[in-house]
A and B are shown apart, each in its own frame.
Chain A
């Protein structure tokens, strides 16, 4: 059962009507197949037109959809033989950031990403995808391991931001994020980062500083959440939609700004309506990117990565 977002209400209403008719048809033997067919077409057309012109704020909601596929869904649908490795060897284990070796269409890779969880228990376990210093230090550890053993790095970025808490500050959240960004930039192996849901600020960039950065069609990536920007710049919590618009958070905007390299299309109505199709599109896109990077010497890879970020602001 798909849960609908506020702006999808007209579609939800149609779907409810279709369900009602179906129930009636089953009970009363009435032949209303043509009516159902008509409504289904109408609903599909409405879904298509709605998703063809999503506003940045609507995209933000799609990117945060409770049923949007997360890290572990992609593990199930596009990777084989994922071996989760744990701990930063300094303080602890942080399940907001998961990682370990895996196979993508047979190719050995190091997979790292945020996991938000999908129900109350798993959301708490994964701290809603908000990494702590030990999570970022684990990411550094896994990136260094990938470099040592020649595994290309794939990251799946999906976080509202790094965890803002007393213990995170005490253990050096800033330093952990800075070192993780540095680890990305230092990799002697290819790195492909994908913003699959929310790319929230420093907590995202820490594992997204690769030479190729991809985004799912309805993912968002920004320096601060639209709500945060609204309360700081407009001094009211009600301007999130305006802030999302002004900050240019969508994949389409970021491609034109040169911040990302490629958009991966989502199934009609968003990734949550067809996880398998989303995973399959993502797997082929990442595969193509890795093909394009294979055979490049470590110095060439880091040079590309450095040039990619240095040129931002020299335009």
Chain B
């Protein structure tokens, strides 16, 4: 398990990585001393933040793939000149939900801390010349959780792919459905599936890139309906949470359980792809899966 780890160095692709770094520009707050160093969440190595980002947020020491937000992801996989699709509007806090905090306050806090107003953001552009809509779920925004805004943004992204007659590439990351939206979050499972049926009827490819972590209702809907499933090394991917499973079976979970490599072994993922090779892999796939009669 985890044999792909440690191969995530982007040396061969340094030229485009440099481009990516330049296009990231003022994204990181690298001028503050706090952000000068990044600690690898896996091996605890202290890495100069600049070097961490140059290496696509992959630890140069252990190959751990750190989490990546929408902006950085777009810059990593899309050719320069892409356009971020406008954010969607959906009814806010439809259940007037509150747990220990009001949901509307949680949303406000998440928006203050993140560049986009909810957890799924899409952009249109090209991957090495192949037209694509790329959507990214950001774990930093309320655990990437799927509520009405995520579902609607997903549907719009798929619809835009149909309009442009191009591929749809989805980077998944979520703890699951957004519980504060109750049943309305659950309804995003069939809703997003409807959008994928339309994309499929149009003869357009849908490629899923499973990133850490992808669980719950997201895995049990659009994350598992791709023509091709790629996954990043070591990503946690599953339906049920490990604590729930442990409580149900009352025994130790197998090594590497619910990791990307484990899903590959069990036939759920086509390839585990290190981040440094992701853009090239996507470009090759899009080349194979684009039909002349559609374009």
Which positions in A face B, CB cutoff 8 Å?
Answer: 162-166, 168-175, 177-179, 181-182, 184-186, 201-202, 205-206, 209, 221-224, 229, 232-235, 239, 242-243, 246-249, 254, 257, 259, 305-306, 309-310, 312-315
CA distance A136 to B98 in the complex (A): 34
Tell me how many residues of B have a C-beta within 8 Å of chain A.
57
Question: Is B48 engaged at the interface, CB distance under 8 Å to the other chain?
Answer: no
Q: Across the interface, do A249 and B190 meet the contact criterion of CB distance under 8 Å? A: no
21 contacts between A and B (CB under 8 A): A164-B248, A166-B254, A168-B239, A169-B245, A170-B266, A173-B220, A182-B196, A201-B186, A205-B186, A223-B182, A229-B99, A246-B98, A247-B95, A247-B179, A249-B182, A306-B194, A309-B193, A312-B184, A313-B148, A313-B151, A313-B188
Residues of B contacting A185 in the complex (Cβ-Cβ under 8 angstroms): 190, 193-194, 197
Number of A-B contacts (CB under 8 A): 174
Q: In whole Å, how far is B186's beta carbon from the nearest beta carbon of chain A?
A: 4
Q: Across the interface, do A166 and B197 meet the contact criterion of CB distance under 8 Å? A: no
Instruction: Say which residue of A178, A233, A254, A315 sits within 8 Å of B193 (CB atoms).
Output: A178
Question: Is B290 engaged at the interface, CB distance under 8 Å to the other chain?
Answer: no
Residues of A contacting B191 in the complex (Cβ-Cβ under 8 angstroms): 309-310, 312-313
Q: Across the interface, do B220 and A223 meet the contact criterion of CB distance under 8 Å? A: no
Q: Across the interface, do A202 and B186 meet the contact criterion of CB distance under 8 Å? A: yes
CA distance A254 to B187 in the complex (A): 11
Which positions in B face A, CB cutoff 8 Å?
Answer: 90-91, 94-95, 97-100, 148-149, 151-152, 155, 177, 179-191, 193-198, 216-217, 219-225, 238-241, 244-245, 248-249, 253-254, 257-258, 266-268
Q: In whole Å, how far is A42's beta carbon from the nearest beta carbon of chain B?
A: 37
CB-based nearest B residue for A220: B183
CA distance A165 to B151 in the complex (A): 27
Q: In whole Å, how far is A310's beta carbon from the nearest beta carbon of chain B?
A: 6
CB-based nearest A residue for B215: A174
Residues of A contacting B198 in the complex (Cβ-Cβ under 8 angstroms): 306
Q: Across the interface, do A172 and B224 meet the contact criterion of CB distance under 8 Å? A: yes
New contact pairs (9) apart from A205-B186, A222-B182, A314-B90, CB-CB < 8 Å:
A169-B245, A174-B219, A174-B268, A201-B186, A223-B217, A242-B99, A248-B95, A310-B195, A313-B191
CB-based nearest B residue for A178: B224
Q: Across the interface, do A184 and B183 meet the contact criterion of CB distance under 8 Å? A: no
